[in-house]
Amino acid sequence: MYLQSKASSETNFYSRINTYKKDRHANIFWRGLTFLFKSQCFRDVLVFDSIYKTNAYAKPLVLFVNVNNHRATCVFGVALFSDETVQSYRWVLNTFMESVGHKHPISILIDRDEAMRQAIDDIFPYSRHMICG
C-alpha cells in the first residue's frame, strides 16, 4: 500500500492502518513531515473535525487542524475510518498522539458527536473540550 511504502522510505512520514478480517481496512491515519512541524509549533488548540460521509466511500474523514500565527489553517493529520464508534475514535486519537510524541493539546474543539466526546474524555482527560457549531 502507498502509505506503508511512503512511511518506510521517509523517516518523518507516519501512517498506521488498523485492519479487520483479511485485507479489510477499518481505520487509516497518516501525517507527513510538515504536519509534524506544524503540530509541534501550534499544538495548544486542536480542532478535531469529522467530515461525515462526504467522500466517495461514504466513510468518516477526520482532520486534525489548527490555526497558525498567520491565521492560516494548519492540518496536523488525517484519518479515514469505517465507523463513528467510541472504539474507532479512541484508535484515531491514540494514533494521532503517538505520531506527535504524546503532547496533549490544551483545548480541543469538536462537533456534537457523542462517541467523539467520550473518546476525547478518555484520551485527553486534562484538555478543555469545547463544542463548536
pLDDT digits (tens, 9 = 90+) for 46-90: 787 777 666 677 778 888 888 777 888 878 788 988 888 899 899
Neighbours of 60 (CB within 10 A): 23
Question: What are the distances in angstroms from CA 20 to CA 4, 14, 17?
Answer: 17, 20, 10
Q: Which domains does the chain have, with CATH numbers?
A: 2-131 (3.30.420)
Identify the pLDDT of residue 22.
65
Identify the pLDDT of residue 11.
66
Mean pLDDT of the chain: 78
If you average pLDDT over residues 15-26, what whole number do you get?
A: 72
User: What percent of the chain stands above pLDDT 70?
Assistant: 74
Helix H or strand E segment including 88: helix 86-99
User: What percent of the chain stands above pLDDT 90?
Assistant: 11
| Residue 131: exposure state from Cβ atoms within 10 A (0-12, 13-18, ≥19) | exposed
d(CA 126, CA 53): 30
In angstroms and rounded to an integer, the radius of gyration of the C-alpha atoms of the chain is 14
Is residue 35 over pLDDT 90? no
Is residue 94 over pLDDT 90? yes
Identify the pLDDT of residue 122.
94
Identify the pLDDT of residue 118.
94
Cβ 28 vs Cβ 3: under 8 Å? yes
